[in-house]
Homo-oligomer: A and B are copies of this chain.
């Protein structure tokens, strides 16, 4: 019964890639069908409310990944520095060193933000909050920790945009290197 669960993760990953590459409007059901190998019958079986439900599920899935691999380590690791280190590494890995774009960031920019406003706000809000918390525990003053957290998350988003605009992956790795320094992490791991 529940064995669709592991498959569902793969399915959502494929659909996410289509949304990532084409945006919400540009990701047609034809593209999604071609990428997943599923016809409309199957797609509407798994997502009865159609494209919007697919996008919502994709965002939830990404949010869950970040919750497990980024936010929770930031919050749970008794050593805040180690948690932050983990965040940087997971971020680099997730965005494939700049090859991948942030789907939720891309959604935030156009009209589709209105559809998913609360999910988008929640995702970025939790990222900033958990990072600020870890920075505060690492010794930063609370106000400074909040600003540095916001600056860090924004820098990652901006680096993804700029890396894709310039078609130069080094933009992203340079940004992570600078952030690492600013966050008080050792230069190399």
Contact = CB atoms under 8 A, between A and B. Distances in A.
A23 B110 contact: yes
B165 A105 contact: yes
A109 B111 contact: no
Interface residues of A, number: 43
Contacts of A167: 117, 121
A117 B168 CA distance: 12
Contact of A108 (B22, B113, B161): B161
A26 B111 contact: yes
B150 A174 contact: yes
B157 A153 contact: no
Contact of A161 (B21, B23, B161): B161
Interface in A158-184: 158-162, 164-167, 171, 174-175, 178
A101 interface: yes
B178 A147 contact: yes
Interface of A: 21-26, 101, 104-106, 108-113, 117, 120-121, 123-125, 147, 150-151, 153-162, 164-167, 171, 174-175, 178
7 contacts: A26-B110, A101-B109, A101-B110, A106-B106, A109-B164, A151-B178, A154-B161
